[in-house]
Amino acid sequence: MSDLPEPVDHECLICFLYRMARDFDCDCTLRFLIHYRNTAAPRATALERKINLLGAYCDCEVLMNAVRPASAATARLLEDAADIVCHGVRRGCIQPCDQWLMRRGVQWGGGQFRRRSA
């Protein structure tokens, strides 16, 4: 049994990582990402590989390199280090809620995994 906090029901991966980054120091691994995958999205077996292609090799780099806020309101919350209330995703989903945008470069859907050229 893990001593790491559990994701809240329907909390997206990025909101979970943001919450963990505020409460814990980065240990230069993807421990929270892997914990989220194992507890909330166990079928997302290529998640680590996709995140690495987006330039993230630890939990804090996911927040810095792989995603950005989708609105000015979310950006202000990040600047103030305030709590962000996740807008929710379906169980098993690794895509972010509508408060976040993924960096371009990896195709997420369609059952295929490939690198985009632009």
pLDDT in tens, the chain (118 residues): 478 899 999 999 999 999 999 999 999 999 999 999 999 999 999 999 989 988 899 999 999 999 999 999 999 999 998 999 999 999 899 989 999 998 775 555 544 445 555 4
Per-residue confidence (pLDDT) for residue 105, from 0 to 100: 58
User: Which pTM does this prediction carry?
Assistant: 0.85
Domain spans of the chain? Answer: 13-102
Lookup: tokens for 6: 């559990």
Per-residue confidence (pLDDT) for residue 18, from 0 to 100: 96
Per-residue confidence (pLDDT) for residue 103, from 0 to 100: 78
| CA nearest neighbour of 11 among 108, 70, 102, 97 | 97
d(CA 71, CA 65): 17
| CA nearest neighbour of 56 among 13, 89, 88, 24 | 13
SS3 state of residue 20: helix
